[in-house]
Structure 1
Amino acid sequence: MFNEEMETLSIGEKENLQLKRLQQTAKLVYENVPFYKNKFNTNHVEPKDIKSLGDIQKLPFTVKKDLRDNYPFGLFAKPVGETKRIHASSGTSGKPTVVGFTGNDLGVWQEIVARAIAACGGEPGGILHNAYGYGLFTGGLGIHYGSEKLGMVTVPISGGNTDRQITLIEDFRPTVITATPSYVLNIIEQMEKMGKNPRETSLKYGIFGAETWSEEMRKTLETRLGIKAMDIYGLSEVMGPGIAIECKEAQDGLHIADDHFLVEVIDPDTLEPVREGEEGELVFTSLTKEALPIIRYRTGDIASISKDPCSCGRTSIRMSRVKGRIDDMLIIRGVNVFPSEIESALLEVPELVPHYQLVIKNNGAMDQVTLKVEINDQFYQSINENMEHEHIRFLSEKICKKLKNSCLVTIDAEFAAPGKIHRSEGKAIRIVRETEVSLSH
């Protein structure tokens, strides 16, 4: 199992533990990672200067570019031969970011993921259906070993082959499913096409992450699958899945494993801390990692934090669900908007299915944004499969009004027939350039 006491430490006990571990981590990187020693010296700070948690602001930030510039092992605090595993990002936009784990790191990771799964309803002896991708991506293996640490029977099916996923869900009767929310939606749709009722499976809890998703998507998944759906947060540069998790009791903010990670929220423009409860960019410092300790890592994720007590009894700091990423924010006719806000509005339109793409076309100084949405079968049949039907125009006006009221933006909508927008077997691609639009034929 795992140490439950860490989830209910008093504020004083937690802060004393965090400070001790922060001091140890600062000393570790200063003595073993030339990149950090140079950064510390530039900031005129040494590990001995860390006398309180507030002193973390003396330390330098780390960004993704730093990991790429020091590719592959330049930020490791341990020789590669002393690590037990290496993970890496996909590297689709340049060199991948590479992270390493010692045996102790893997043990810590298993511990926090086991705690996360337990918070979401997982129990020893139960069956967990793991549809996260396995491989260099941290999602699949991170969930896998945490599930085994908890004592669950783990089905390592990975992503894809949706018909087989459905068969194993029916035959193995798991109580927990883990995957990206967009892929679980695909499973639900396929079950319905097969004449099955998704609400009649054995599933009780869903642990969904690896992409930003809205409260409206939660309601959709819970209603159609008959489960409780919880958000899990993680990123490979800091550890992987399990950094934070919603509890099944409250489903109100994600409990951060703050005995292992110190969180800050900053204004991404000024880099100054914001007040508790205000949105900003999440910044994480690892407190117990050995192979790749990370100092003040700027995640690019927008959220807020709260120290208010939770009804579940855990005392950890909670973060809000991620609103979006800084680099995913769109500026549409002068208005800032995140895809998750658009998703929330679209899910309130009953004629649509929860699949969409925001297509960006470069148009001189200002990008032109088109919203591609997919209508559902019932509406498609009502217009006799005629995409030029006048009801399409009425629907377009309805969507335009909804987005204007909810997001304060005006976006042209383009409609696709049922099943025509690409379904992802991993992370959903919501923002695409015009030449990358993926419609099935």
Structure 2
Amino acid sequence: MKQRAFDREQLYLRLPVQLQHAACSVEGLRAHNRRFGGDFPALLADAEERSGWTAEQIAEYRDRRLRAFVRSAAASTPYYRRLFADLGLDPASISGLEALSQLPILTKDTVQAHYPELISSNFQPAELIPVHTSGTTGGGLRFATTRRAHQEQWAVWWRYRRWHGITQDTWCAYFGGRSVVPLTQQRPPYWRYNVPGRQILFSGYHMAPDTLDAYIAELRCRRPPWLHGYPSLLALLAAHILDCSLELGYQVRWVTIGAENLLPQQAALIERAFGVWPRQHYGMAEAVANISECPLGKLHVDEDFAAVEFLPNPEGPGCRIIGTGFTNPAVPFLRYEIQDLATVDDDGCPCGRPGRIVAHIDGRHEDYVVLANGSRVGRMDHIFKDLVRIREAQIVQREPGAMTIRVVPRAGYTQHDEQLLRQETARRVGTEMVVLIEYVDVLPRSKAGKLRFVISELDAGKLDRITL
């Protein structure tokens, strides 16, 4: 399966530019139908109605769904059936959020080791959608979800966007990690069009001092009102605009970010360049937590989407985020360790929307990888999403055009896995990048217990140095 997916991408990258535009639109239509067809309109309407509920109504709704979800997990999966039996615990005793503490925390390693036992017997393979993610530690994870769960997650995400006035027919300039432009391409266009999805997909792998003028020119030409993507990439674009005293020639209405921490200096830079403060939401492929920023700038826990616990962090400040999603009964995750930290704000929010308030999220904090041509690439986790026999990984860079990947392998890791790692790395940063793979037993953590995924010893690669 992996080889077929790899070959399909290689075929795409060999197509002429116009056919790549068409391929992006075909894939965009497929994704649009999967996300927004079927029950999505009703799920979105229900989610928006719950924005006006009281905290008590939301808590009752959350706990009711949680109770049903736990019962289903215990009845239909071998893993949870055995767990409740070993604990001598009646699934009905999990009556709500507070009662979840009776269960052990679920880690990514446990999911990897027991995945077949976590699959519910209530679903046939044809009913499931494959999902893959790397998380914050670089280890790949693959699992399945249902079409309805997928749409419910997108409904919550679009509820947040609609809070800010964004609609589904709004054109968006997307700056992310998708490999839509061949790394060998050395002239514009460094973007491709997804017409059904109303997206201009800008390459995150060609952003260098001598190419960013072309990015600005495309924005001026198309005038998309909405910019969305990784803050590390949007900050690079903003820095170029400010350093070169450029004008976009139109007013951007929205900037939204995701997938990485939004640093204060990035937010300030983006606001100066585009004239609008960036909005953020926090979510993950595992769908065990979601946190959305309201129009007043407060981060609300989406209590109607998952049961989220904030536990003390024994390594330092902040709270560990532990999530129990109740939207994906096909592969239930109860008390899943996300490996991110949050600071909880007890003051609440006057906007009237329900949900506990989070003051700060300590998630991804990654430096850039600097290519030999000066391009800076952020968010390197795509390399590891399908490499399930890597427990953890870390990228260290000491000179442009070369990097070291430190790998903590899982049991069963072979030379074939290393070959796949090199292939995936070449797809993201090119074959000219010199890559050294170093195998270690453990990777160092910060004082707060966090693993930094990309560490640059270059001034040009440091995340807090975001001027060009």
**What residue is the counterpart of 2:149 in the other structure?**
105
Do the aligned residues in 2 keep the contact of 1:170 with 1:202 (CA within 8 Å)? no
Partner of 1:18: 62
- 2:108 is matched with 64
- Offset, 1:371: 12
1:219 and 1:93 mapped to 2: Cα distance? 28
1:295 to 334, 350, 364: 334
Aligned residue type for 1:421: A
Aligned counterpart, 1:396? none
Partner of 1:351: none
Identify if the C-alpha distance between structure 1 residues 50 and 24 changes in structure 2 by more than 3 Å, giving closer, same or farther.
same
Answer yes or no: is 1:222 the counterpart of 2:271. yes
Identify the residue that residue 343 of structure 2 maps to in structure 1. Answer: 304
Give the Cα–Cα distance (whole angstroms) in 1 for the partners of residues 110 and 155 of structure 2.
28
Instruction: Tell me the distance in 2 between the aligned counterparts of 1:20 and 1:158.
Output: 43
Match of 1:319 in 2: 358
Kindly tell me the number of residue pairs found equivalent between the two proteins: 322
Q: 1:74 and 1:120, CA in 2 relative to 1: closer, same or farther beyond 3 A?
A: farther
Written as runs of structure 1 = structure 2, the 5 A alignment for 1:384-403 is none
Q: Give, in whole Å, the separation in 1 of the partners of 2:204 and 2:331.
A: 28
1:245 paired residue among 284, 287, 292: 292
Contact 2:227 2:256 in 1 (8 A): yes
2:229 equivalent to 1:176: no
State TM-score, norm by structure 1: 0.62
Partner of 1:236: 285
Offset from partner CA, 1:311-363 (integer Å, 9 cap, x none): 332112222221357xxxxxxxxxxxxx69x9xxxxxxxxxxx999xxxxxxx
Q: How far apart, in 2, do the equivalents of 1:306 and 1:40 lie?
A: 34
Q: Which deviations, in whole Å up to 9, do the C-alpha atoms of 1:243-272 show, x marking residues without a partner?
A: 21212x2213x22221111111112339xx
**How much does 1:183 deviate?**
0.7
Shift of 1:218: 1.4
Inter-partner Cα distance in structure 2 for 1:226 and 1:168: 18
Look up the match of 1:378.
none
User: Residue 278 of structure 2 aligns to a residue in which SS?
Assistant: strand
- 2:303 paired residue number: 258
Structure 1: gaps of 5 or more residues: 136-146, 271-277, 326-338, 343-353, 357-369, 373-406, 408-413, 431-439
Ranges in structure 2 where 5+ consecutive residues have no aligned partner: 1-40, 180-193, 368-375, 379-395, 399-447, 449-455
In structure 1, the residue matched to 2:247 is: 197
| TM-score (norm. length: structure 2) | 0.59
1:161-183 CA-to-partner distances (Å, cap 9, x unmatched) read: 44464344222222221111111
Q: Is 1:282 aligned to residue 321 of structure 2?
A: yes
Q: Report whether the alignment pairs 1:35 with 2:74.
A: no
Within 2, Cα distance between the matches of 1:318 and 1:152?
31
Q: 1:36 & 1:214 partners in 2: Cα distance?
A: 39
Contact 2:205 2:377 (C-alpha < 8 Å) held by counterparts? no
Secondary structure of the residue aligned to 1:88 is strand
Q: Which amino acid counterpart does residue 335 of structure 2 have in structure 1?
A: R
SS at match of 2:51: helix
Q: Secondary structure at the match of 2:50?
A: helix
Question: Are 1:130 and 1:179, in contact at CA under 8 Å, matched by a contact in 2?
Answer: yes
The answer to whether the Cα contact below 8 Å between 2:172 and 2:226 also exists between their aligned partners in 1 is: yes
Question: SS of 2:158's equivalent?
Answer: helix
Aligned-residue Cα RMSD (Å) equals 4.1
User: What's the offset of the Cα at 1:309?
Assistant: 4.0
**CA distance, structure 2, for counterparts of residue 217 and residue 157 of structure 1:** 19
Question: Which secondary structure does the structure 2 equivalent of 1:319 belong to?
Answer: strand
User: CA offset at residue 152 of structure 1?
Assistant: 7.9
The 1:125/1:181 distance shift into structure 2, 3 A limit, reads same
1:131 is displaced (CA, Å) by: 2.1
What residue is the counterpart of 1:274 in the other structure?
none
C-alpha distance after superposition, 1:4-33 (max 9, x if no partner):
211121122112111111111101211222
Report the counterpart of residue 427 of structure 2 in structure 1.
none
- Alpha-carbon separation, structure 2, partners of 1:48 and 1:13: 21
Aligned partner of 1:211 among 226, 241, 260: 260
Q: Secondary structure at the match of 2:58?
A: helix
Q: Name the SS of the counterpart of 1:186 in structure 2.
A: helix
1:421 aligns with 2:460: yes
